[in-house]
Chain A
Amino acid sequence: AQKVTQAQTEISVVEKEDVTLDCVYETRDTTYYLFWYKQPPSGELVFLIRRNSFDEQNEISGRYSWNFQKSTSSFNFTITASQVVDSAVYFCALSEEDAGGTSYGKLTFGQGTILTVHP
């Protein structure tokens, strides 16, 4: 069965610090997708990134970067020079092939990491 673990329940940093959110996953599939979502206090989940298992290239988008390491089943997320607006709950999620084997369906989420950035 697929599983996602976000071991850090809460992280607190001061503005401008760099912070890394850890995500470890378990799957028996060789083909799968990984996601990060942000949930601000308003409650709506905001998509950040999607990565498939064949693409191990790290990605940078502005202050955000992602480190995908298949060998350790990890997909970590780093925020550089954090800002107060980054305060939110961050979720890592995994999607495997569905029963038909031709597409991907449900997401399995981790428990989330609460990030608080203090001014």
Chain B
Amino acid sequence: DTGVSQNPRHKITKRGQNVTFRCDPISEHNRLYWYRQTLGQGPEFLTYFQNEAQLEKSRLLSDRFSAERPKGSFSTLEIQRTEQGDSAMYLCASSLARAYLQETQYFGPGTRLLVL
């Protein structure tokens, strides 16, 4: 199986610009998660999808953030009007969810965002 892939791997942008990240999950995985990790911290949950439905959003996900998974395959995370505080590693993970079981989430390499 091909693992989770994320693009771009690195992004440098100026404050106020919009950025979009893409995540391609492991094929046949129905769940896709987004996390954010800042330096010296553990990943923090942002949102997740089951197929194309967005099931949960964290309070961390301000109205400048939007995520989509239009056909239940790849997902995009867009940040509008970026701020310096958005600088972080954005991680994507996927899993095969089944009722009453927690399947392992497999992570991609992440997109490192730097907002100048």
Contact present for B99 and A103 (CB under 8 Å)? yes
Bin chain A's interface residue count.
20 to 34
Nearest-neighbour CB distance to chain A for B69, whole angstroms, equals 15
**Interface check B74, CB cutoff 8 A:** no
**Interface check A87, CB cutoff 8 A:** no
**Interface check A102, CB cutoff 8 A:** yes
Bin chain B's interface residue count.
20 to 34
Q: How far is the CA of A81 from the CA of B97 in the complex (A)?
A: 36
Chain A residues within an 8 Å CB radius of B91: 45
Chain B residues within an 8 Å CB radius of A58: none
Contact present for B109 and A108 (CB under 8 Å)? no
Q: How far is the CA of A103 from the CA of B96 in the complex (A)?
A: 11
Chain B residues within an 8 Å CB radius of A110: 42
Nearest-neighbour CB distance to chain A for B46, whole angstroms, equals 9
Contact present for A102 and B99 (CB under 8 Å)? yes
Q: How far is the CA of A102 from the CA of B99 in the complex (A)?
A: 6
Contact present for B110 and A103 (CB under 8 Å)? no
> Considering only CB atoms, which chain A residue lies closest to B56 in the complex?
A105
Contact present for A103 and B101 (CB under 8 Å)? yes
Nearest-neighbour CB distance to chain A for B93, whole angstroms, equals 8
Q: How far is the CA of A106 from the CA of B48 in the complex (A)?
A: 8
Q: How far is the CA of A98 from the CA of B57 in the complex (A)?
A: 12
Chain B residues within an 8 Å CB radius of A112: 40-42
Contact present for A105 and B109 (CB under 8 Å)? no
Kindly name the residue among A44, A47, A108, A111 whose own CB sees the greatest number of chain B CB atoms within 10 A: A44
Closest 5 CB pairs of A and B: A109-B42, A104-B102, A45-B107, A106-B45, A33-B102
A residues at B contact (CB < 8 Å): 4, 33, 35, 37, 42-47, 50, 52, 91, 93, 95, 98-99, 102-112
B residues at A contact (CB < 8 Å): 31, 33, 35, 40-45, 48, 55-56, 58, 89, 91, 93, 97-102, 104-110, 112
